[in-house]
Amino acid sequence: MILNSLRVLFSLRLKKTIQIIKFFHNPKLAYSWFIEFIDDKVITKRHQKYTNFNDSSLIDYKKAINFTTKTNLVEINKIENKFPDFLSSKNKNIPNYSWAATNELAKITYIITKLIKPKIVVETGVGPGMTSWSILKAMSENKKGHLYSIDLPTPNTKNMPEVGYLIPNSLKNRWNLLIGPSKKILPNLLSELSNIDIFIHDSRHSFSNQLYEYETSWSSIKNQGFLISDDISNDAFINFSKKNGKDHILIKQNKKFPIGIIKK
Ligand SMILES: C[S@@+](CC[C@H](N)C(=O)[O-])C[C@H]1O[C@@H](n2cnc3c(N)ncnc32)[C@H](O)[C@@H]1O
């Protein structure tokens, strides 16, 4: 029993080490990832300063959509019924699927895209491509919109067939994928686009990276536009909304940390 556990532990560690060694075959990306990793683990710890929220301060995703878009629940339910089943049914055979957005985040991005018919959406953190898929699906139904996604592959994402591999080719005509750290790509992209309708953060959830992405994207988001963030696990989101004098909403989802929304 003990020997077996040691054997499993050893093979897991070996697998992880091999994964990291393989990853360093692309020195430029590996360097960017390593710098962020150090920032996360040593300089600004990932979940430093827990926000003081509890279950009763979190609201349901449909109520949040109702409140921010002023759409009634009947209409929201109608759109939700069109949300493709295959986007929410989890298939455990797909590699790194567990990294994908929760049902709640996928539905929020789908329903809000359907409702406000955005021209431009920018997201950070593609992974397998669940949120990208939901947004692109809604844009294709709207016959309007373009999605710009940024992803910095990590040793874990290198395990996937490719970044955004869940997204069907038929939806990719409205999609640009930019590879690299959001800190490097986001400022140039936003200055080229000038105005965006929605910004979604789902990349590295460290305090410094979240705050950086919120602050960088904010001036490009149109009035009445949306800032949506996964994993409100530290004070970055709440500090940011207070500093800008904006109300924020925290939404319950099927994992430890909530989703945040600020309407500009
Ligand atoms: C939680 S996953 C995103 C899941 C995705 N939104 C979905 O619904 O499937 C986080 C992704 O962020 C990427 N990432 C990590 N640090 C990043 C950074 N600094 N800039 C851009 N992407 C980053 C990781 O490679 C990973 O693919």
For domain 42-263, say whether CATH 2.40.50.140 is its number: no
Strand order in the sheet with 120-124: 175-179, 146-151, 120-124, 196-201, 221-229, 259-263, 248-251
Mean pLDDT of the chain: 85
By most ligand atoms within 8 Å of CB, the mutation choice from 203, 208, 211, 232 for ligand 1 is 203
Q: Is the CB of 155 under 6 A from ligand 1?
A: no
**Residue 169: predicted pLDDT:** 93
Q: Is the CB of 39 under 6 A from ligand 1?
A: no
**Residue 126: predicted pLDDT:** 93
Q: Quick one: pLDDT band at residue 4, thresholds 50, 70, 90?
A: low
Q: Measured between alpha carbons, how far is residue 62 from residues 78, 118, 245, 251 in Å?
A: 12, 19, 24, 9
Mean pLDDT of all residues in 207-220: 94
For the packed helices 207-218 and 236-243, what is the interaxial angle rounded to 10 degrees?
30
Q: List pLDDT tens digits, range 68-119.
A: 999 999 999 999 998 876 666 555 456 556 678 888 999 999 999 999 999 9
Q: Is the CB of 36 under 6 A from ligand 1?
A: yes
> Which residue would you say has higher pLDDT here, 144 or 22?
144
Ligand 1 atom with minimal separation from the 131 CA: 8
Q: List pLDDT tens digits, range 158-189.
A: 666 788 888 999 999 999 999 999 999 999 99
Ligand 1 atom with minimal separation from the 181 CA: 20
Mean pLDDT of all residues in 37-48: 66
Q: Is the CB of 108 under 6 A from ligand 1?
A: no
Q: Quick one: pLDDT band at residue 124, thresholds 50, 70, 90?
A: very high
Mean pLDDT of all residues in 21-33: 71
Q: Is the CB of 129 under 6 A from ligand 1?
A: yes
**Residue 106: predicted pLDDT:** 93
**Residue 161: predicted pLDDT:** 74
Q: Is the CB of 203 under 6 A from ligand 1?
A: yes
Q: Is the CB of 153 under 6 A from ligand 1?
A: yes
Q: Quick one: pLDDT band at residue 52, thresholds 50, 70, 90?
A: low
Distance CA 150, CA 213 (A): 12
Distance in Å, CA 68 to ligand 1 centroid: 26
> Which residue would you say has higher pLDDT here, 144 or 2?
144
**Residue 153: predicted pLDDT:** 82
**Residue 27: predicted pLDDT:** 75
**Residue 115: predicted pLDDT:** 97
Q: Is the CB of 67 under 6 A from ligand 1?
A: no
> Which residue would you say has higher pLDDT here, 214 or 19?
214
Residue nearest to atom 27 of ligand 1 (CA): 127
Query: What's the pTM value of the predicted model, to 2 decimals?
Result: 0.87
